[in-house]
Amino acid sequence: MTTGKQTVRTLIALALGAISTSLLLVDSSRGDDKKPEAAAAKITYDEHVVPILREKCFGCHNPDKKSGGLVLNNFTSLMAGGGSGAIIEAGDPDNSTLYLVMTHKEQPFMPPMAEKLPQAQLDVVRKWIEGGALENSGSKAKPSNKPKVDLSLKSAPTKKPDGPPPMPPQTLRLEPIVRTTRASAVTAIASSPWAPLVAVAGQRQVLLYQSESFEFLGVLPFPEGVPTVLKFSRNGSLLLAGGGRGAKAGRVVVWSVATGERVIEVGDEYDSVLAADISADQTLIALGGPSKMIRIYSTADGQLQNEIKKHTDWITALEYSPDGVLLATGDRNGGLFVWEATTARQYLELRAHSATITDVSFRIDSNVLASSSEDSTIRLWEMENGGNIKGWGAHGGGASSVEFTHDGRIASCGRDRVAKIWDQNGAQQRAFDAFGDLALRVAFSHDGSRLVAGDWSGDIRVWVTADGKLLGNLTGNPPTLAERIEIANKELPARQANHTQLVNVATASKAAADKAVVDLAAAQKVAGDMATAAKSAADVAAKVKENSEKANIAVTVAQATVTAKQAAANAVANVAAQADELAKKAPENKGLVDAAARTREHADQAASEVVAAQKVVADLTAAAKTASDPLAPAQAAEQKATADLAAATKQVEAQAAATKAATEKSATEKVAADQAAALVSATQASIAKWVAAKQQ
């Protein structure tokens, strides 16, 4: 175990740096590495360039004349340059003044008032510079610090860049530089701010993964040793790695994410770089380590711009603010400072931590800095006056990593073996399953939906931040191409067989779903016919009922008519009887006798009308019975048709449910078959890709 002042990152750098040299030939018995080709013949100053310069240039540029302050007949003087500065940029003839004036691409043309040298001689000079401007056959080329491209950023660093975010090219190397028998401690993890891309530190290499599919995208060689810090630039176009070999050498390297090419290398430390970052505008690179010095380099020419000698112990954490205004640095003694990024003047000293500062991270607005420490705490600092606005015990035994995401959440991990997510009040939002060893590094994915963390044993896990579900693992010790091919070739037959089986199942499910659809259509037709029959039966029953009711009403009306006529006939009969009595008493009264006769006629007529009305009632009663007789059968037919329709409807509902289940099952099994097919295709493509990469 380490003491309170020894950071996890420091121990990793020392332990891995000490053994990195011995790992150069690890697994060489696998036979995967190609034999180096014979080195091309060296072009040197002494053997090839001096004869050209002697003929055309020494006359003016010698120790006696020193035209332009430039001496060419001495290698040291030539490389020192003249009054206008260096004229040779080793490795870069197109930025070397000597080559440009000799090819008449820049003034003053050389030799003066003469044609330019023959192309063959110019080609020699060019190749000499490209080869590192060697003095003699025993010299070694010194790589140029000058970047291959202009790294300065013109757009806003904290906003998502226009267009697709940078991702590595498909041509990136897939063969690991080193393959060990087991994984080593996770010294660094970084996630692109805008792309599904994660970088993981390995032995003499940086490994790139697609954070959503976990696809291994390739290797960036880091022959300098062990990377102990990884940082993406704020726009995601660059990846920075700092590290080296403990107690021997340290360096910072920057790659273009889109091309995979090194664009600049800075630093020449005598110990491993433990902390580094590139400024938001990509014009400055700061680094620190056991030297206790912060060194700041320009990306324009790779030259040292500033040195800050303030820390009293190893520098273990460092980050530029997203707006590029500030630089925060922390050390092994708990010292935490904030500097003006461009002037390197001290801006704040933040005092509260009592042990090693293990990590620092700025909030996206640059107004708040988070720091983690071996004293177990995470602290938040406001950047106006340096006030400690929040602090909490985050990880028992020590917090080893902290990072803000775009939305202001905070991720951390530590010696309690747990990765956690917090809000800015220090309230824990989620704790993930514990590692088997000390948790060392943590990073949010580009969209904050996933958390990547690694521990001392090399275990690298990816979780869903919303529910804590473990999605899978990455590795800092990927298999060789030969191993990948062997594994894939073993897995391919089983995957093909599984695909065939799933296709058969999916085909059967599709047939069952198709039959269910046909059955549903048949059931729907039956239900439709039943609905038509039920409507027809209902219409018939309604018509019969209507006719019966009308007939009954007619009977009632006729009966009322009979009653009325009977009453009238009775009244007329009474009058006629009275008239008859009067006529009998006075037969001589002819008028009275005639009136009695007429009255009797009226009575007889009224009686006949009653008989006629009674006949109508009898006829209507018979008709009402005829109309009412079909009503009960019609109503029974209607009830049966309604019941049949209900049964048919229920059958349709059951068949619809069965059809839905069969269709969903068919769709699910088709997806499984398609996924199996995709897995087979991906496996075949991977084998082809790895075979091609191995043959390169």
* CATH 3.40.50.150 corresponds to the domain 189-478: no
> What is the per-residue DSSP string for 428-484?
EEEEPPPPSS-EEEEEE-TTSSEEEEEETT--EEEEETTT--EEEEE-SSPPPHHHH
Give the distance, in angstroms, between the CA of residue 375 and the centroid of all CA atoms in the same chain: 34
Q: Could you tell me which of 96, 85, 79, 81 has the C-alpha nearest to residue 139?
A: 79
pLDDT in tens, 409-447: 999 999 999 999 999 999 999 999 999 999 999 999 999
Domain boundaries, the chain: 45-130, 189-478, 485-681
Please give the model's pTM, rounded to 2 decimal places: 0.67
The predicted pLDDT at position 504 comes to 96
Task: Give the tens place of pLDDT for each residue, 37-64.
Answer: 334 578 998 899 889 888 888 878 887 7
Report the SS3 class of residue 44. Answer: strand
Question: Domain 485-681 belongs to what topology?
Answer: Helix Hairpins (1.10.287)
Name the strand (E) or helix (H) holding 382: strand 377-382
Say what the alpha-carbon torsion angle 376, 382, 386, 392 is, to the nearest 10 degrees: -20
Nearest to 417 by CA among 463, 455, 474, 372: 455
Report DSSP state, residue 160: P
Using CA atoms, how far residue 63 sits from 54, 60, 99, in Å, is: 13, 9, 21
pLDDT (0 to 100) of residue 33:
41
Distance CA 230, CA 254 (A): 10
How far, CA to CA in Å, does 50 sit from each of 54, 75, 78, 96, 429?
6, 9, 11, 17, 70
174 CB neighbour count, 10 Å cutoff: 21
pLDDT-flagged residues of the chain (< 50): 1-39
